[in-house]
Structure 1
């Protein structure tokens, strides 16, 4: 496997990559070409198919494709000039090589998150957080494996957990210097502030905005999720 991050101008590439996007264009002379975005776990690169010959087999976005081409440079950015394409056969690739993932241990981060939950003083905050992070296995699975964004930050598997935990830990740190801060409220808010992203952004390999994400956004959806959980908790205070 030759990863995208290791490409150099002039390299001849014959390997499998995930086609994240495929667009058809037309040159000024009327010739059809393909503009592709190819990805693996190390990054992405533009792929250009200028000649739609018999060597370019049928494929669609989200397919794993075997490509043959050369790394070139355009406007100081590397791209692939592709001559051959076919859909990759099963066994020619390992999916994990094409999904960007946190470098941190997901299970250890989850344990650290639950330790923060257990450290809270007010029971109603603990109950609320456990409704999400202990009693809802489907949500926990999504939260552990979701990205925190399409591209801006933590846009990889485990990114949502990594980001939320980091924010919560920073809030915990601030409360050691400023005792006036409401530690329980800050940590609870930090852990829940981005939970709507499990519905705003689709899973890999797409990792793109869903219809609900476009229409509502993660803040609105997250607020609705928190409201629904709070409604199942007896005597949750209106002002915590």
Structure 2
């Protein structure tokens, strides 16, 4: 079997199962694990999958630009946003990141809820601008035109002076072994500080982000207190997170 054919089969299996093991591919393709490892490295360098120890996992299918993500999977984000409201109480300081799922949580915030919202997201700030009982603290910095948010040293420094009650983290990718990862370096650094500073961290994730990975580590999966998804908590793909001690909603 020629290399191009092997690599097409590797991509096909990653797309179907979201992950592959070197040992399984070696048997399937009748080549050595070293050959498979080289194939996976080439495909990873091309951005077609994520090479990890012992195999590969898929990238997140979520678009990078905010405008593309804004209208992506809206109904499932609404399910997540409604579930998230149980974690918001009057008097809390609530941190919203720049993800579109976090924006959905802010959009669904009941008008009677009295909170202080902290965010680096222009869309979140705009949504809460008209909320009658939400005080809004917007963290300024360099404009990230892809994420419609601020990033950089000023944002990280400002977050370092906060201790929010809860953080809603819209994520790109999550894997129980490889953690929460992102596609953008500076955005990932901001999210990392949010996780470090918040007392209770909630990841917002549709099912298709589960078991995927990107280049920049935000935190280990065990750093999360809860994961809110669009599925039932007992879904098979979520059981490993329950076993890791993370609340699944």
TM-score, length-normalised on structure 1? Answer: 0.29
* Higher RCO (Cα < 8 Å, 6 or more apart): 2
* Larger of the two Rg values belongs to structure: 1
TM-score, length-normalised on structure 2? Answer: 0.28
